[in-house]
Structure 1
Amino acid sequence: MLERVIAWSPLDVKAIFEDLSAVLGDQEPRPAEIPGLATRLRGHLERLSTIAVADPRFCPLEEIQKTLRRGVALQESKLPGGHRHALGHTRRIAGVVEDLVGQLIETKQIKGPED
């Protein structure tokens, strides 16, 4: 437990939005960038999912539960080969992260990048 506390770092919402912009923005990421972006987005998804269910006294809203279920399926699947397939998969992960971060900001479970 102590190791987890020592290794803990605050949630960097700004970094989440930067990665979302890199994947979902107007300019497509280069093929070499996709594996790193996918890894970071999976990490964001894991942390956000943990936050969403962290308080055992409250069940997440149905909308958040649906988003979490979408995320589980993507977390369990590997990054496919081929640029187009890998980009599509990474964009699906980004879509779930984008939805979840928005829902958690809306429910005040996390602060937005401007807060």
Structure 2
Amino acid sequence: MHSSSMVLAETGRRTAPPVERWSPPLDSEGLARIASLLRQVKPLEGIVDDVGDVLGEQDPGESEFGEIAERLRGDRLRLVAIANAAGDGDAEVCRLLQRAHTLRSEALPAVSRQALGHLRRMAGLVNDLLERLAETNIVKDVA
């Protein structure tokens, strides 16, 4: 007779199998590090602000082009990562991801008018991708 069956037969009660003691996957330092990283993540509303800096009523100053381009690259990377992680296969999202891939390889032109055009294309793509991700409920709707 199996030992657990013997216990049940002898006492009328079933014994629980041994359970390993649970330990958290991260210690306090690991949790603090993750909390710090999460605090550094720009809210999606910040992406809208970056887009507005380029597509708003007033063009940004030429001295700001490099910084704005860097922010838009980060915004694009974040939205592409979100879309890829969601993997819902929406045709419009796929088209926008292809555009993002194409824009990724383009450097910021040295000529001011061309650089502004590049920033506008980047901001337009980021805006379109954010809007589509909101429409498909991949991200929450943003202002």
Question: Does TM, normalized by the shorter one, top 0.5?
Answer: yes
For normalisation by structure 2, the TM-score amounts to: 0.70
Q: How many residues align?
A: 109
Q: 1:23 aligned to 2:42?
A: no
Structure 2: any 5+ residue segments left out of the alignment? 1-29
Q: Distance in 2 between matches of 1:77 and 1:39?
A: 13
Does the 8 A contact of 2:134 with 2:142 survive in 1?
no
Match of 1:54, SS state, is helix
Q: Distance in 1 between matches of 2:71 and 2:141?
A: 19
Quote how far apart the aligned CAs of 1:39 are.
Answer: 0.7
Q: Distance in 2 between matches of 1:43 and 1:85?
A: 21
Structure 1: any 5+ residue segments left out of the alignment? none
Quote how far apart the aligned CAs of 1:10 are.
Answer: 4.2
Q: Distance in 2 between matches of 1:99 and 1:63?
A: 10
Q: Distance in 1 between matches of 2:59 and 2:71?
A: 17
The code of the aligned residue for 1:103 comes to R
The root-mean-square deviation of aligned C-alpha atoms, in Å, is: 1.7
Q: Mean Cα displacement is larger for which, 68-77 or 6-15?
A: 6-15
Identity level (%): 38
